[in-house]
Structures are given as structure tokens and as C-alpha cells.
Amino acid sequence: MEFSNPAIDLALLPKAEEITLKPVERSYLNVLRLEWLITAIVVLVVGGLLVFFIKRLHQPFIIGLAAGVWLLITIFSYWVMNRSFKRKAYAIRDKDVLYQTGWIVRRLQICPFNRIQHCSVHSGPLERQFGLAALSLFTAGSEGSDMKIPGLTEESAASIREFIMQKIRTDEQVTN
């Protein structure tokens, strides 16, 4: 077999940073807010029960401190959630999928089609209320390698999955 290995001009390589990412659905913020609310309430109830049943905790200082920490974390997480929501965006290129998230730590992940093992669409009860779904892409890579894009409409999640499966199939490869 003839082996060729032409030099590559790095400047001509497609640049991931030049792609305009598409933000996830606006209504996903409602899902996040509801999740945030539920978590805050659950923590409050559990904490309240602990204080109620454990006599030794019946001290104004401890109750005040716990309530303060709870309030601080709850407000902070709401703020971070809103900020990081604005960063949640994705793009689909000819050969890979990009997903960006995070505010304190911004993370852009790229997953090439020819490394995807399988993909799935998932929607939880809250997401279903808003007609949303999450698309998960699984690779053979180590932890952190798999990609999950939340906040897609059910239709677009399904069509992206179909598109990816099509890509994998035309690459004429792994099937189970």
C-alpha cells in the first residue's frame, strides 16, 4: 500500500474557537431553577428535622450558623446556575460535536463522531414538562470523556441523535 504523509498547514485546520455555538433552550433555565428550588427545600427540611430531633442542636448559635450557611450556599448556587446557564451552548460540525458549559470553570468539550460508541436521549420528569430532553454521547474514553447536552427540545435531541447514528453508520463501523 502506498503511504503518503503530506505536511499539514496548521493555520488551515478548522478552528473550534471560530464556531458560533448555539445556546440551549431558554426554557431549560426553568428546569434548572426548579431543580435548584427542590434541592434547597430538601436540604432545608432534612436540616430542620435534624435540629428538631437532636436535642443537643437546640442552640441559637448552631441554628443561626446552619441557617446562614444554607442561605449563603443557596443564593450562591442560584447565582452560579444563572451564570453558567448562559454558557451552555453546543454546535455540530461535520465530524464532531462541541459542547460548552460552566462559569467558574468554562469547559469546551469536543467529541468526534468516529469515536462515539452509542448515544441516547433522556428526559426526566421536570424536563418533560417543558418538552425538553438531554442527549448523551458515549465514547470508550475514561471518566469525563462522555458528553451530555441538556436543554434540547425533544425533536432536536432525537434528530441530532439520528444524524449522529447516520454518521456512524456511513462510517460503516461498529454496530452492536
Partner 1 sequence: MNRLQTDWSVPQRQAPAALFILLYKTVLRILKIFWPFLLFYFFKNQTNEFDRFEFIIIALSVISLLGSVVEFIYFRFFISQNDLIIKSGFFTKKTINLPLDKIQGVHIEQTWLHSLFNVARVSFDSAGSEKVEVKIDAINKAEAEDFKRFILHARPEAGMAVAAPEPEKPIVHLNSKDLFKLSISANHLEAFLLMLAFFLSAIDQLKDIFNLEYNRFVNWVYGFNNSPAAALLAGAIAALMVSVVISTVRVIFRYFDFRISTSAKGFLIHSGLINIQEKLVPFNKIQYISWKANWIRERMRLYLLHFHAIGSQEINDKLRVKVPVTRDNMIPVLLEHYHPLLPKETITPLRIHPAYIIRKILVTGLLPVALLAIPGFYFFQWAAFWLAGWLILISISSILFQRKFRLWTDERALQIRRGFLGMEELILRWDKIQSVSLQQSIYQEGKELATVNLFTAGGTVSIPYIRLNDAREIVNYAMYKVSSSLHVQQNLPGFTHLTAIE
What amino acid occupies position 54? I
The C-alpha cell that represents 144 in the structure block: 469525563
Task: Identify which range of 59-67, 69-77, 144-152, 155-163 contacts partner 1 by CB under 8 A.
Answer: 144-152
53 HSE (CA, 13 A, CB side): 6
Smallest gap from Cβ 99 to partner 1, in A, equals 9
Distance CA 142, CA 119 (A): 16
Query: Does the footprint of partner 1 cover residue 160 (CB under 8 A)?
Result: no
Cα–Cα nearest to 44, from 63, 78, 70, 24: 70
Query: Does the footprint of partner 1 cover residue 20 (CB under 8 A)?
Result: no
Q: How many residues can be counted in the chain?
A: 176
Site for partner 1 in 111-140 (CB under 8 A): 111-115, 117-118, 138-140
Among 1, 4, 9, 15, binds partner 1 (CB under 8 A): 15
* Binding-site ranges for partner 1 (CB under 8 A): 5, 8, 10, 13-17, 95-96, 102-115, 117-118, 138-147, 171-174, 176
